Amino acid sequence: MTDNQTLLYTPLAKLHEKLGARMVDFSGWYMPVQYTSVIDEHVHTRQKAGLFDISHMGEIEITGHQSFQFLQYMLTVDLHRLSPDRCMYSLLCNPGGGTIDDCFLYCFSSHKYWLVVNAANIDKDVIWLRKHAAMFQVSIRNISVETAKIDIQGPLSEKVLSSMMTFPVSIVERFNVVEARVANIPAIISRTGYTGEDGFEIYFSANHAEKLWLAFLEFKDIVKPVGLGARDTLRLEACYSLYGHELSEEISPIEAGLAWAVHGKEADFQGKAALLKQKKQPPVKKLYAFEMLEKAVPRTGYDIFIDTKKAGTVTSGTFAPTLNRMIGLGYIEAPGLKPGDKIAIKIREKLYRASITKRPFYTYQGGKTDVKS
């Protein structure tokens, strides 16, 4: 996108500029790609605490006494597994099982939920939800603009956040949700994230965005602001999917290795027949993680070869700062590939050797369980 007038701004965009971040157009949003360097920010998040402006993401509020039934019909997860003040990863699928979006579902009560969705999909998701809402007594409200979101991620997150609150945030367990004040700003906090580290996602009124960002930056050597560049390398080491790369309307969650987020629930839901069939008979095309055995960086869109035949496509690839290796994810059409199996990536007309690896590259460090709870 080159037309500046169509760019969207988070309530922190001006502050990012002022603090010296390098700003880019990220699928229509004017966002910080880095403050100092992707590697520094990545390493800092793994060692101490990284601060992320995630205000571009969408929040959709579902209320009404049939909220439970409506979301049970729209989402791949079984809402019986979610109690109030908890959240879980889920997907919105089309009837063919293709992925409309991946999201986090927050439960406040059986009459009030939030869906936290990808920035680029907000409008599409709202239209999709509204299209099916007529049969249910629910109200759907897009609260994305008035809602700011800051993530704090890394081993020191709990300590930092606790010192900004009136109670120790250690009592909030992974995937729990609490309403509380942070630096005296009313907020909704969940112990979740997209980095492979312990951490929190904080939702609050956009009016307070600069105040809260600066309050976190008071912890000078502990908390450093992190751009979307490191957010991507962090999530890739942890093997979290990124919509538009590992997921799309042509890709099912089963192919993406997300069968654990597609529940064999009794209730009918969008894509149920197609998805449950795929769960029984796994598709030949599947997402694999791999690492390079030769020096070269795999990138989105590069071809994957088995022997001399094209067998797939890279969906994400990078230098992995924590692992000091070149890693990637990609779809490969070949039955029964195992960790250690050899593949090749075509980079500038040359084939470079790579090897299938176990997912994830980097194991969740927050203790207890990761997203697959």
Partner 1 sequence: MSNPENLKFLESHEWIDASHEPAVCGISDFAQQQLTDIVFVELPEPGKKVAKGDRVAVVESVKSVSDIYAPASGEIVEANTALSDSPELINGDAFGKGWIFKIKLSGTEELNSLLSKQEYDAATAGGAH
Span of 125-133, 200-208, 280-288, 316-324 interacting with partner 1 by CB under 8 A: 316-324
Region near partner 1 per CB under 8 A, out of 30-38, 45-53, 150-158, 272-280? 30-38
Q: Which residue, 46 or 191, is less far from partner 1 as judged by CB? A: 46
Smallest distance, partner 1 to C-beta of residue 24, A: 9
Number of Cβ within a 10 Å radius of residue 225 = 24
Element (H, E) at 126: helix 122-133
d(CA 263, CA 304): 31
Give the CA distances from residue 77 to residues 81, 97, 105, 226, 265, in Å, rounded to whole numbers and listed in that order.
Answer: 8, 13, 9, 31, 8
As beta bridge partners, residue 29 has 8, 26
Name the strand (E) or helix (H) holding 280.
Answer: helix 272-280
Cα–Cα distances in angstroms (integers) from residue 260 to residues 90, 238, 333, 336, in the given order: 10, 16, 21, 19
Q: Does 8 bind partner 1 (CB under 8 A)?
A: no
**Is 358 a residue that touches partner 1 (CB under 8 A)?**
no
Among 49, 161, 296, 343, binds partner 1 (CB under 8 A): 296
For residue 265, the tally of other CB atoms under 10 A from its CB is 17
* Phi, psi of 353, rounded to the nearest 5 degrees: -75, 140
Among 319, 334, 341, 365, binds partner 1 (CB under 8 A): 319
Answer for which of 215, 274, 297, 351 binds partner 1 (CB under 8 A) is: 297
Q: How far is residue 71 from each of residues 80, 82, 307, 317, measured CA to CA in Å?
A: 11, 12, 45, 34
Q: Least Å distance between CB 228 and partner 1? A: 9
Q: Is 34 in the site for partner 1 (CB under 8 A)?
A: yes
Query: Dihedral of CA 359/363/364/370: which sign?
Result: positive
178 binds partner 1 (CB under 8 A): no
Residues 6 or more apart in contact with residue 94 via CB below 8 angstroms: 100, 249, 270, 271
- The residue within the footprint of partner 1, chosen from 7, 9, 27, 37 (CB under 8 A), is 37
Site string for partner 1, 251-290 (x = CB under 8 A): ----------------------------------------
Which residue's CB is nearer to partner 1, number 140 or number 329?
329
Q: How many of the chain's residues bind partner 1 (CB under 8 A)?
A: 18
Single out the residue of 295, 309, 338, 372 in contact with partner 1 (rule: CB under 8 A): 295
CB of 206 to partner 1, least distance (A): 28
Token pair listed for 168 = 């120790």
Q: According to the binding rule CB under 8 A, does residue 18 interact with partner 1?
A: no
Of residues 128 and 319, the one with the C-beta less far from partner 1: 319
325 forms part of the interface with partner 1 (CB under 8 A): no
- Rounded Cα distance between 193 and 245, Å, is 19
CB of 370 to partner 1, least distance (A): 24
Cα 12–90–108 angle (5° rounding)? 70
CA distance 53 to 50: 10
Kindly state whether residue 354 participates in binding partner 1, applying the rule CB under 8 A: no
Name residues contacting partner 1, limited to 181-240 (CB under 8 A). Answer: 229, 232-233
Q: Which of 80, 211, 299, 342 binds partner 1 (CB under 8 A)?
A: 299
Q: Least separation, in Å, of the C-beta of 351 and partner 1? A: 14
52 and 153 Cβ atoms separated by less than 8 Å:
yes
Residue number, 80 or 350, with CB nearest to partner 1:
350
Positions touching partner 1 (CB under 8 A) are 22, 33-34, 37-39, 229, 232-233, 295-297, 299, 318-319, 321, 326, 348
